[in-house]
Structure formats: C-alpha cells, structure tokens
C-alpha cells in the first residue's frame, strides 16, 4: 500500500513513519509513505500557501492553487487509484471499522491543513472524504495523518509479527481489550489472575472474554450498546 501526505511538514510525516511497526512495514515493502509540500508548488516570489479569509475574521486559509498542483504531482507519482482524505475536525469520526476499510485500499492521499483550514472550493473539487480523529482541535492535520498511517500500516499483512494480534485488538470485535500480564523479576506472579497460569486455554479464553465485556460495560457502555451479544457472552456478563 502507498500513502502520500500533502503537508507543510513532510519531515514530521517521514520521521514518524520510520518508527516502530510502521517503519518495519516500510522496510518489509508492505507500505510506503511519501511527503509532499504545497510550498514547493507555490508560484509567487514568497512561496505563499495561505491568504486572509473572505469575509474577514482571524487566521488564514490555505490557497487552492499550490494545494491543487501539489496534489496533482502526488497523484501522478503512482498509477494506482488514490482515495483523497482531508484530516479535519469537521470530518467523520475515525473508527477501527473505518481503519480496516482504508487498510484494504491500494493507495491513500492524506491532506493536512494548517491555519483555519483549506479553501472550501478545493475540498469540494478534490476531496473524497473528510476524517476526524476526535472531538478536539489540533493545530494541524499532521498528527491526525500520523494516526491514520499507524492504524492502517499495522494492519498490512505481515506488518505485525503475530498475525493474531490485530484480530485480538481492542475494537476489532467492538469491545475493549482485556488486561495483559507478563513476567516480573520483582513481583513474580503476585497479582496475576491464577487462571492465566493454569495452562487451561479454554478457561483463559473465557476469562479474557469476560474481562473484555466487563471493562467495556464499566468504561464504555456506549460501545456495548452497539454490539450484539450471543448467549455465551450474556452468561459471562452475568457471572
Ligand atoms: N486537524 C485539526 N484537528 C483535527 C482532528 N481532531 N482530527 C483530524 N484532523 C484535525
């Protein structure tokens, strides 16, 4: 999969995409992330990428022309059809289901705004969808783009060392993840639920499912309302 990012800070995107699971996915050839700077496509002497908003008011708006030229260059870098996504607080909220959908595409182009955002005519003409990573305002779309790249990159086949770990993630089944424990030189097995030391895999799976259900019920009842629980799950919740 290929992800191109149109941003005034391409170094931030390249640097963050070189770390951890996403960096490894790039080294394994499963994903490639590229940065494009609209300032390189500005045509005036000052390399301007923004201007004052029509109607007045605070802040600046990103100019359509450098963005259009930059996006056209990014598109032309690869023949695969690209989904163009603008990261903005006005977008649809990102969920794990959306991440799965994006991860299955051959190519994404992510647009990062700064200042008050992008000229609306550019959005209407070029953007396929607008996505938000949450109900708060960042000073630019770069952190949101890094979130999308991480969430999508780790789902590329072969990116995670354990294929199962993506399936067992929080939200994959609409529930929160269960607690995890590992060896401790200082504490030994103190505080570790005995079932996890029992070697009884069916009992461990049942305990994990019960913990997931219980945590979701306590911390995110809104999620629980959206999943349909089977008979076995309802019995675990009531136990
Ligand atoms: N840009 C600024 N705030 C944002 C948010 N919450 N989500 C996505 N992009 C943003």
Whether 50 has a binding-site annotation, put simply, is no
pLDDT the model gives residue 171? 76
Give percent above pLDDT 90 in the chain.
87
Measured in Å, residue 31 CA sits from the centre of ligand 1 at 23
Which one of 111, 127, 137, 140 would you pick to mutate in the ligand 1 pocket, going by the greatest count of ligand atoms within 8 A of its CB?
137
Q: What's this model's pTM, rounded to 2 decimal places?
A: 0.92
Tell me the domains of the chain and their CATH numbers: 2-153 (3.40.1280.10), 168-238 (1.10.1270.20)
CA of 110 to the centre of ligand 1 (A): 12
Ligand 1 probe mutation, 5, 62, 85, 87, most atoms within 8 A of CB = 87
User: Cα(230) to centroid of ligand 1, in Å?
Assistant: 36
**What pLDDT is attached to residue 161?**
86
**140 DSSP β-pair partners:** 114
Residue 169 pLDDT more than 80?
A: no
- 116 annotated active-site: yes
Enter the tokens of residue 183: 């060896």
Alpha helices in the chain (DSSP H): 10-16, 20-27, 64-76, 96-103, 120-126, 142-153, 163-167, 201-219, 221-224, 231-238
Ligand 1 site, residue 147, Cβ cutoff 6 A: no
Confidence of residue 172 (pLDDT cuts 50, 70, 90): confident
Average pLDDT over residues 26-37: 98
| Per-residue pLDDT reduced to its tens digit, 180-194 | 999 999 899 999 999
- pLDDT-derived band of residue 25, with 50, 70 and 90 as boundaries? very high
pLDDT of residue 163: 66
Choose the catalytic residue: 65, 78, 116, 130.
Answer: 116
Angstrom CA distances, 49 to 71, 102, 166, 169, 192, stand at: 14, 29, 39, 40, 56
Check pLDDT > 90 for residue 162.
no
ipTM of this predicted structure:
0.98
pLDDT for 205 equals 96
**Is the CB–ligand 1 distance for residue 137 below 6 Å?**
yes
Residue 35 pLDDT exceeds 70: yes
Show the tokens assigned to 10: 């391409």
d(Cα 38, Cα 42) in Å, to the nearest integer? Answer: 7
Answer yes or no: is pLDDT of 168 > 80: no
**Mean pLDDT over each residue of the chain, to the nearest integer:** 95
Give the tokens for residue 14.
């390249």
CA of 153 from ligand 1 middle (Å) equals 19
User: How far separated are the first and last CA of the chain, in Å rounded?
Assistant: 44
Residue-wise pLDDT for 117-140, tens only, equals 999 999 999 999 999 999 999 999
151 close to ligand 1 (CB < 6 Angstrom): no
- Tell me the C-alpha to C-alpha distance, in Å, between residue 228 and each of 22, 84, 109: 33, 33, 35
Tally of CB atoms within 10 A around 6: 30
Q: Of all residues in the chain, what percent are helix, strand and coil, respectively (each to 5)? A: 40, 15, 45
172 is known as an active-site residue: no
Nearest to 38 by CA among 162, 141, 167: 141
């Amino acid at each position: 999969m290929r992800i191109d990012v149109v941003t005034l800070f391409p170094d931030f995107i390249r640097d963050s995409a070189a770390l951890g699971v996403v960096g490894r996915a790039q080294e394994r050839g499963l994903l490639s992330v590229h940065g494009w700077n609209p300032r390189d496509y500005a045509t005036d002497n000052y390399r301007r990428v923004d201007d004052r908003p029509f109607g007045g008011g605070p802040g600046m708006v990103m100019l359509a022309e450098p963005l259009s030229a930059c996006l056209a260059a990014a598109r032309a870098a690869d023949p695969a059809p690209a989904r163009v996504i603008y990261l903005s607080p006005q977008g649809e909220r990102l969920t794990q289901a959306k991440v799965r959908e994006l991860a299955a595409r051959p190519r994404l182009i992510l647009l990062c705004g700064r200042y008050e955002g992008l000229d609306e005519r550019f959005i209407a003409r070029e953007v396929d969808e607008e996505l938000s990573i949450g109900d708060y305002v960042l000073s630019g779309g770069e952190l949101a783009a890094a979130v999308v790249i991480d969430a999508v990159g780790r789902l590329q086949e072969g990116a995670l060392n354990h294929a199962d770990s993506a399936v067992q993630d929080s939200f994959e089944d609409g529930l929160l993840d269960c607690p995890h424990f590992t060896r401790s030189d200082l504490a030994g097995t103190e505080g570790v639920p005995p079932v996890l030391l029992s070697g009884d895999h069916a009992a461990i799976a049942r305990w994990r499912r019960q913990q997931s259900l219980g945590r979701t019920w306590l911390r995110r009842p809104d999620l629980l309302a959206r999943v349909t629980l089977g008979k076995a799950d309802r019995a675990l919740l009531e136990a």
